[in-house]
A and B are shown apart, each in its own frame.
Chain A
């Protein structure tokens, strides 16, 4: 059993609070991703699990044991660092066996274990090389191998793929997924890349300014973001936001503004009503729900600024009020730059937030 439990954990440096009132239970064998922009406290949280940062207040449990005052080496965790942190003067074999040697494991056993792990990671041939003789991807594998040989209760990953090129990153992401399926160990993974978060996680924790914004499965976060921050952070390209007036027309609720007119579905309307008589809201729409099509209701009309044809899909950039909006269509280009174009809005997928973006309304 290797769950990780945070109870009211906070971390401060002097007067600056970096992590505030962090409550979270990471289940045994779960792949949990902490995601957020720079400085949101995600790495600090990970380093508190590792024991590299002291906990200012609150309790942290690994398994059933409170680990606040337990040294990193006794926590039975392994960590993969963003920049690999391989010991440059040691060979790959020595790097991978360092921890085992410190535990005084018999050398025959160490050799067997290291070779076994190296083989599964495809670095069996590299055991006698020094880190500087390896490519970025190979170093990353060695760093992971070094963690795996220890057979820890919890794996911690601190942005492990951010130094790799795009292609290798995708490849390693898939391997990480496989690794988790095979090892069945609790993994906590920090990244600022929402694609990594979406593809790897069983559950995602979105952090901002030291606060948890939302915890949920990737699909929960994508379909029902708790606030505009989560909505904007999860999904690529990001969600579009603009302010709109709320009005009631013939028993239906509409959100309108300069160049758009959207009639809410029954469900959204009812949920919006439950929040009282609001005059203005923040509308969130994903690009996939805005596509060029001449319809009579539920549309946005604007002059297209930029068109980005990607082959399989096309993105359209235009302004609504002060906000820049991105729309999307399947396949080829179906609008022209500089022309007034009407975009159909899929109101079933509309996200409504309070005007400050802090609360979800539907």
Chain B
């Protein structure tokens, strides 16, 4: 008995040591970014311990108060761009993905399998491969340098993944619930809206978060399609602090922290929906 206890204590110690190590490995770079952000621009030096020397908010103040060439509030403008693009991508993506995924999950129609496969195949190509075709299309549509252009591009790239994810979840919702609703007199739309969607909340939350983050963090397409500083999104601005001849690590780190705040906020907002077991009690398990 005691031997077994000792063994399990030793095993726990090893497990926890491993967990602590991995946690540090993940957090160490984050600490570095935080340390850089709070260290004055010229005062930063590499050291083992990521602690800021002469901590200051100067970097944050500089990043936030950056002005454009016309004297306007550039950071605000770019934050607005990023928010509008990401939120619109999320809303468009969720709406299209939910309806498409429900159809793929429940209805049988010609091209159903082929459609699903195509969605999957589209995910296999790297995004940069589509850079030139997308550029040509946006140019032809007059959507270069436009917020709407990026919204469309991001939506089309995130929808296939979202459809697959939501379809997988819809598949797990018992059909009996829909049949029950049909007999109760619900139209297909009412069934979808009042029975299925509320139950798919966890999947929708994850999908929304995914769509938002994809759009929020995207850099390559944004830097290619957006050519004026007032149309930049925040990742493009961030990248500009890392220049060919000089790099403003302090601004970059402060900017990175500021940029991550909305994503974290969204995560906390959606967190309560990221729970399983919503369908518990519907049918006998």
The answer to whether A99 touches B185, judged by C-beta atoms less than 8 angstroms apart, is: yes
Query: Using a CB–CB distance below 8 Å, which chain B residues touch chain A?
Result: 174, 176-177, 179-186, 190, 195, 198-199, 277-284
The answer to whether B198 touches A85, judged by C-beta atoms less than 8 angstroms apart, is: no
The answer to whether A85 touches B179, judged by C-beta atoms less than 8 angstroms apart, is: yes
Q: Which residues of B contact A52 (CB under 8 A)?
A: 179, 182-183
Q: List 15 A-B contacts (CB under 8 A).
A: A73-B186, A77-B183, A81-B179, A83-B176, A83-B282, A84-B282, A84-B283, A85-B282, A86-B282, A86-B283, A88-B199, A102-B184, A102-B190, A133-B281, A134-B281
Distance between B106 CB and nearest chain A CB, rounded to angstroms: 13
CA distance A352 to B145 in the complex (A): 89
Distance between B173 CB and nearest chain A CB, rounded to angstroms: 10
List the 9 shortest-distance A-B pairs measured between CB atoms, nearest first.
A132-B281, A131-B281, A83-B283, A85-B176, A73-B185, A99-B184, A88-B282, A85-B180, A132-B280
The answer to whether B184 touches A84, judged by C-beta atoms less than 8 angstroms apart, is: no
CA distance A52 to B183 in the complex (A): 8
Query: Using a CB–CB distance below 8 Å, which chain A residues touch chain B?
Result: 50-52, 72-73, 77-79, 81-89, 98-99, 102-103, 130-134, 136, 139, 146, 150, 163
Question: What 13 additional pairs, Cβ within 8 angstroms, besides A98-B181, A99-B184?
Answer: A52-B183, A73-B186, A83-B284, A85-B177, A86-B282, A86-B283, A87-B180, A87-B195, A89-B198, A98-B184, A130-B281, A150-B184, A163-B284
Q: Of the candidates A84, A87, A102, A131, which one forms a contact with B185 in the assembled complex, judged by CB atoms under 8 Å apart?
A: A102
Distance between B172 CB and nearest chain A CB, rounded to angstroms: 12
Distance between B198 CB and nearest chain A CB, rounded to angstroms: 5
Distance between A94 CB and nearest chain B CB, rounded to angstroms: 10
The answer to whether B183 touches A136, judged by C-beta atoms less than 8 angstroms apart, is: no
Q: Nearest residue in B to A129 (C-beta to C-beta)? A: B281
Contacts A83-B174, A87-B195, A89-B278 given; indicate if A72 touches B182 (C-beta within 8 A).
Answer: yes
Q: Of the candidates A50, A89, A103, A150, which one forms a contact with B199 in the assembled complex, judged by CB atoms under 8 Å apart?
A: A89
CA distance A82 to B283 in the complex (A): 8
Q: Nearest residue in A to B280 (C-beta to C-beta)? A: A132
